[in-house]
Structure 1
Amino acid sequence: MSRIGKLGIPIPNDVDINYENFQITVKGKFGTLQINVPETLEIVENEKILTVQVKENAKNVKAIHGLYRTLINNMVIGVSEQFEIILTLNGVGYRASVKGNELTLNLGYSHPVEISIPEIITVEVIQNTTISLKSCDKELLGLFAANIRSWRRPEPYKGKGILYKNEQILRKAGKSGK
């Protein structure tokens, strides 16, 4: 059995959970999320604590037990509190702006980079060089942040690029002059 899978998931008062036909739906003040649960797992709610239980002991069931417990826990946290990722633009002339559902990045290319923002994610630009991303879906938020970051990965010589908040870049020494 998974040690993580055995842990209970506390349910806040403002979150509603519905489990029918191997599909769990979590509703909260920041949105609604759904996930399909394998038939070998069972969801049990008891006194505002949700537990994921295994119906049969097979090797592959043990492997996904902790995974689905973590996915459901992330859904509960997301709809009640939201997840946030902060990106920082380091570089001369690097800046960002939001117009409607488009994020426009000036990253030193000959053209601005325009990225469409998914409906479930809110984007806020602070001081032209800091991007705050918020969403109730942790997976989609991380994927969107990685997509933005892929346009200019941090490079080790000057430290320019798109960085996560509090990320440290291992700097390399450049060429030594004669």
Structure 2
Amino acid sequence: MSDESHEPSKRLFFALSCAPEQRRAIAQWRSALQLRHGRPVPAENFHLTLLFLGDVGLAQIADICSAAAKVRVPGVALRVALDRLDAWRKSAVLVLASEQAPPPLLRLVYALEQAMLPFGFADLPKEFRPHLTLMRDYRLPLPEVAAPPEFVLRAEHFTLFESHKGRYRALAEWPLLS
């Protein structure tokens, strides 16, 4: 991470992306909740974060990509059930969460964390909780749910994204299938 605040940087994170048809289905399900508080995350931004890096100096991005390319991948497409609606008060978000994270997903996250250690990312989360953010600035109790969420995110690759002015742009991706 950059110690110099004037060095150009990008806000980066690793994630599993959501297929367009799945984004539409999740957005429809969220609409049915008729939420009147919080800010909806645009459907095109739906993803499952693996590891948030934060501000990364431009000079480090190529090395980060090289390190990510060496990560041992599960060797199978990942299937992550998003089967629970949850409100995280501390971060003020409404999320689709996973009742139980699949072991291959946990191994991938751990491998990414280990690969990023040499870059000095100090603010890595203590515990990985797979989720897809539906709403930001959400400070109410859980809404009533007519139909429980039953989504399964399927991924054949993981991606390094840049977050810029509320939009996410893929910078690089790596296959999960060996």
Please state which band the TM-score falls in when normalised by the shorter chain.
under 0.3
TM-score normalised according to structure 1 size? 0.22
Structure with higher RCO (Cα < 8 A, 6+ apart): 2
TM-score by length of 2: 0.22
